[in-house]
Structure 1
Amino acid sequence: MWVGRAYGRRYAPAMSREIFARTHASVETLHEFLLAGARLTPDKPAVIQAVGGETGSLSYRQLAQRVDGYAATLDELGLDIGDRVVLESDTSATAIATFLACSSLGLTVVPVSPETPAQRLALIAESTEAALHLQTVDGRREAVPTPLGTGRFGTDGIQVERAPAPRSRHRRELVPTDPAYMIFTSGTTGRPKGVVMSHRGVLAFFRGMLRHGIVSAEDRVATTSPLQFDFSLLDIGLALGSGAAVVPVPRSLLRWPRRFVQFLTDSGTTQVNGVPSIWRGVLRHEQAGLAALGEQIRGVLYSGENFPLPELRQLQRALPRARVVNCFGSSESIAASFTDVPNPLPEDADRISIGHAHPGAEMLLIDEDGRPVDEPGVVGQIHLRSAALFNGYWNDPQATAAALVPDPLNPAAGQVVFRTGDLAYRGEGGELYFTGRADSLVKVRGNRVELGEVERRVREFPGIAGAAALMLSQAGKDPVLATFVVLDAGVDGVEEMELGAFCLEALPDYMVPQQVRVLDELPVNANGKIDRRALARRAGEPAQG
């Protein structure tokens, strides 16, 4: 069953983007796509990471050899194509190799964080009927639920601790429509929701993304997202798919701006990817250190949430030569668009466009009655037509049917599109502007309010560095619209009446926050997005929206 390949031959040290593109056009599986560099530029660094306080690298040849060795061990376990493997790790060279080894055997990877609570891990393992749990040699997970097999991976290979329950092999050939991985996101029911992505889907996305030319083979791409967040897979695909090097940033460094900047310096990082919140501490406390990287860092890509415009302008001032790309989308298609941010961002700009879908995809706007929205300025829900769509939600046909819907423009054709839940309107040039989530609409005195619109206005108030809005319930009273804010360095407080008057200049009165609470920082979840549930707990009331 082992379909791993050898990559020991020598080739010319430098290859153009066109040669990589031609090579990628002939492959159909994730591991073949990401290991193309092992055939084209085997001696170039593939992964650069911190080891014992120093930076070390793994070449494409070494990465491919590690993949082959891991695959040989996994192949002896008798797992079948499509069996699920829980991969518990932060992003690292060994984790990437394990991921690709599973891919070469047709095993579906379910990445989880080492910080995942035991109850959630057990729920994921049970719901997916996973066969095997793998963690690093120094992983601290002990009580792995049976009947999962268990093993540990490191530079010396994979050590199987508990063999998986005997399984039957029915499959002989891995095909592009087989699931490559499954990302678990938060579900509205309170249970995690598994997004199943096929080899064909992820490769369609990678090919569309690489046509933007965001990085070259000479770049070093810092990834700051946890492995279970598909943004990390975007980073890995962007780097390895371009013949560049991926640079996993240790999670612990993101809390320390000076150490984060020093790591970027020491690793020779030229491209930094992550959610906007990774920059907040750096911009507040380590601006000089960041500015010193102005000649080194050529690109920044952000995703996951809106980048507050004052912070974005501050980032551009610190890195004036960097190409800043706004990446927009969701796990169900990894992403949908890549849009260059104007440099410098005009002072009168109040929104950042999400542009158009990446090559090979199309974003439609559909109104509440299922009709297309073509005129500028009218809000509709984004429906994504793409070959990069997910297969469905794991074992949830109802949720899948609600998300993958018949093409509203041609329902008789049998084609489905992804109803994203994202709201947007068109600009005069046809470009899209994201306005918020359909599921973050709340009612204030009977009026529909998009929380993102409130947050955007509050962040424009002088002295406010970040803001999050939500509805707070009150015993015996109507819910109240509240905003939680973080202040710029040196700002002692905010006058609620002044902020209210400022909001009234652009918003109707029912959208003006009735409560303002100042925090040292906004809580974020494991993926770096604002954690509204944590805010609600801090307020002592259940949140709406």
Structure 2
Amino acid sequence: MHEFLLARGRSNPGAPAVVEFSEAGDPVVTSYRQLEDRVREYAAVLDGLGLDVGDRVVLETDTSGPAIALFLACSSLGLVFVPVSPEVPDARLASIVDSARPALHLQTDRGTRTGLPEGVGTGRFGPGGLGIERPPARRVRRRRAVQAADTAYMIFTSGTTGRPKGVVMSHRGVIAFYRSLLAAAAVAPDSRVATTSPFQFDFSLLDIGLAFGSGAAVVPVPRAVLTWPRRFLRFLEESGVTHVDGVPSIWRPVLAHEAETLGRLTGLRGILYSGEVFPPAELRRLRELRPGLRIVNCFGSTESIACSFTDVPDPLPASVEELPIGYADGGAEIVLVDEDGTVVTEPGLTGEIHLYGPALFTGYWNSPQATRAALVPDPVTPESGQVVFRSGDLGSRDEAGRLFYRGRRDSLVKIRGNRVELGEIERRLLEHPAVRAGAVLALPQGRSAAELALYAFVVPRAAGDFEERALRAFLKEALPEYMIPHQVTVLGALPVTTNGKTDRAALSRIVAGPDARAA
């Protein structure tokens, strides 16, 4: 992976690879030559620790030039980088560390994380270099050469068991994805690609691959800027950004409050969006403000990063009420399979998306049962021994063969582009000593049906023995911010269906209000 990402920049080593801004607002540009020098510097320190190919390294950081150099250094030595956010709660990080059993935990010079288990080495990195504070437990080096089938990284997502689930991706899989990405959405060498996703979100790797694979520059957008539409647009303009990748949620406040400013942002050439549905009405407004802007819908999951890239029509006709996710990208294929295991070929019928292709994940870390449930025999020719990814996403095709997303078959939802298993939040609710029963729903919020929010319903163990503030604090000890419910409702009992299961339709009516409950 490191060779693939650095190769294009070697033809013009003085070109900018990463463009950042200091707290004073001054640009900090790292050229491809400087980036590769830093990769070698970091790799020399890591290599001196005697780590083996396949050893895990937790990188607790936001996206930055040093962070990119560090994960490329890990790649060059065959070390598996495990990105986590500096904002991840201690309990969740402890769960990830317990599962991944890393050799090292590395954070930035300004990191404040403490309390890592004995045996896990610790260190800090930044523009000044990589310093090891506590060396890892003694390792046995069995291998030295990195192979294409080796693991490149592991991303932990929300899991149905109540513990984060590690998605394992090989160098071969990442490179296959990058090649299909560049064929579908390549940018020019003079482009600047703004990355808005957290480093532990796989679409940050999409941004880096799109930029470096084209010899262009990555521009990390500070997290604080994203929540202020005017500051966000000013940052894009002042940094010379030409392309932006991010969830549709980052554009909604812009369209609502700074539409005219967005219309004047003529340096912007393209937008990629992913992780959520972008309502056609909002896309149409974006098209009106910036005709000629290329807008690409990237659809997929962490297990494949993305599997389709679809251009939004320009102009977007008023008659269009639903946008397709198109077709599988180059080298991949999608088939739909119904509940009986039969391949769906008739237009309009819904089936579960099964993905063929070289850019699939290797499996779930230390979870063979979950891996077997997701990587299943080819439904068309099971005799071949080939496995395909059973995604859990539902879809249907129109007469032209275009694919449309139809939701999920399980409790996984997307909140601001992040994968969330509702069961993981529910398990945490039930761990609170004052909660006897609980349920969580993801329901539309505001004017857009595509923007989901989390709603929790709890039944206290004793009347009056419940404080919402204490419950929220308890949840934040183990869950990231995007998994904290938007609203908590206290009930005397959870409604149930005739077969004794939680009546989620009744719970959604409680949120909708008295009129809906009466109906």
* Category of TM-score, reference length = shorter chain: 0.7 to 0.9
Matched, 1:357 2:328: yes
Quick check: 1:221–1:244 contact (8 Å CA) kept in 2?
yes
Summarize the alignment of residues 177-192 of structure 1 with structure 2, pairs less than 5 Å apart: 177-192=149-164
Q: Aligned with 1:210: secondary structure?
A: helix
From the superposition, tell whether residues 99 and 221 of structure 1 become closer, same or farther in structure 2 (CA, over 3 Å): same
**Selected match of 1:408 from 379, 387, 391:** 379
Of residues 318, 330, 343 in structure 1, which corresponds to 2:289? 318
| Displacement after TM superposition at 1:55 (Å) | 1.9
Which of 263, 267, 283 aligns to 2:239? It is 267
The separation in 1 between residues aligned to 2:68 and 2:22, in whole angstroms, is 16
User: Residues 470-489 of structure 1: matches in 2 within 5 Å?
Assistant: none
Deviation at 1:527, TM superposition (A): 9.6
Any conservation in 1 of the 2:58–2:84 contact (CA below 8 Å)? yes
State how 1:294-443 maps to structure 2 within 5 Å: 295-440=266-411
1:59 aligns with 2:9: no
Q: Report SS of the residue matched to 2:66.
A: helix
Partner of 2:145: 173
Amino acid at match of 1:183: I
CA distance in 2, matches of 1:353, 1:465: 17
Of 317-326 and 393-402, the range deviating more from structure 2: 317-326
What is the alpha-carbon distance in structure 1 between the residues aligned to residue 233 and residue 242 of structure 2? 12
- 2:436 maps to none
Deviations 1:373-430 (A, max 9, x none): 1111100000000111101000000000000000010111110000000001001110
In the alignment, the residues of structure 2 paired with residue 226 and residue 188 of structure 1 have an alpha-carbon distance, to the nearest angstrom, of 22
Give the drift of 1:126: 1.4
Paired residue type of 1:257: P
Corresponding residue SS for 2:17: strand
**Which residue is equivalent to 2:466?**
none
Shift of the 465–376 alpha-carbon distance from structure 1 to 2, 3 Å rule, reads closer
Describe the SS at the equivalent of 2:36: helix
Deviation at 1:292, TM superposition (A): 1.4
Could you tell me which amino acid in structure 2 is paired with residue 534 of structure 1?
P
Q: Is the 8 Å Cα contact of residues 211 and 217 (structure 2) preserved in structure 1?
A: yes
Structure 1 residue corresponding to 2:215, chosen from 243, 268, 271? 243
Aligned residues: 450
How many angstroms does 1:38 deviate by?
Answer: 3.4
Asked whether 1:126 is paired with 2:98, we answer: yes
Cα distance in 2, alignment partners of residues 467 and 150 from structure 1: 39
CA displacement 1:278-309 (0-9 Å, x = unmatched): 1112112222221110x210100000011122
Match among 202, 205, 217 for residue 177 of structure 2: 205
Q: Distance in 1 between matches of 2:134 and 2:239?
A: 37
- Counterpart of 2:137 in structure 1: which amino acid? A
Conserved 8 A contact 2:123-2:133: yes
Task: Specify which of 207, 212, 229 is matched with residue 201 of structure 2.
Answer: 229
In the TM superposition, what is the alpha-carbon distance from 1:32 to its structure 2 partner? 0.2
Deviates more, 1:146-155 or 1:94-103: 146-155
* Gap regions ≥5 residues in structure 1: 1-29, 443-450, 476-524
**Aligned partners of 2:455 and 2:485 also within 8 Å:** no
Structure 2 residue runs of 5 or longer lacking an equivalent are 414-440, 460-477, 495-501, 506-519
CA distance in 2, matches of 1:200, 1:214: 20
Matches within 5 A, 1:453-468: 467-468=451-452
Query: Counterpart in 2 of 1:510?
Result: none
Whole-angstrom distance in 1 between the partners of 2:238 and 2:162? 42
1:39, CA displacement in angstroms?
1.8
Which residue of structure 2 aligns with residue 87 of structure 1? Answer: 59
For 2:74, the equivalent position in structure 1 comes to 102
SS in 2 for 1:99: helix
Percent of counterpart pairs with the same letter?
A: 59
Aligned counterpart, 2:14: 43
| TM-score normalized by the length of structure 2 | 0.82
| Rounded Cα–Cα distance in structure 2 between residues aligned with 1:183 and 1:40 | 31
Question: Does the 8 Å CA contact 1:55/1:266 hold for their aligned counterparts?
Answer: no
Shift of 1:123: 1.1
Cα offset for 1:466? 5.9
The answer for the alignment partner of 2:469 in structure 1 is none
Which letter does structure 1 place at the counterpart of 2:452? A
Separation in 2, partners of 1:203, 1:265: 31
Candidates 255, 262, 268, aligned match of 1:283: 255
Please give the alpha-carbon distance, in whole angstroms, between the structure 2 residues aligned to 1:259 and 1:469.
25
1:253 maps to 225
Query: For each residue in 1:153-203, what CA deviation from the matched residue of structure 2 results, as whole angstroms up to 9, or x when unmatched?
Result: 111110110000100000121100000000000001111000000000000
The alpha-carbon deviation at position 310 of structure 1 amounts to 2.0
Highest relative contact order (Cα 8 Å, sep 6+), 1 or 2?
A: 2
Preserved contact between residue 61 and residue 199 of structure 2 (Cα < 8 Å): yes
TM-score, length-normalised on structure 1?
A: 0.79
SS of structure 2 residue aligned to 1:58:
strand
Say which SS state the counterpart of residue 35 (structure 1) adopts. helix
Specify the SS of the correspondent of 1:423: strand
- Assess, with a 3 A threshold, how the Cα gap between structure 1 residues 221 and 132 changes in structure 2: closer, same or farther: same
Matches of 1:230 and 1:466, distance apart in 2: 21
AA at the equivalent of 1:329 = G
Contact 1:326 1:340 in 2 (8 A): yes
SS in 1 for 2:379: coil
CA pair 283-76 structure 1, distance change in 2 beyond 3 A: same
Corresponding residue for residue 110 of structure 2:
138
Displacement of 1:465: 7.8
Q: What is the CA–CA distance in structure 2 between the aligned matches of 1:355 and 1:193, rounded to whole Å?
A: 29
Question: Does the 8 A contact of 1:225 with 1:527 survive in 2?
Answer: no
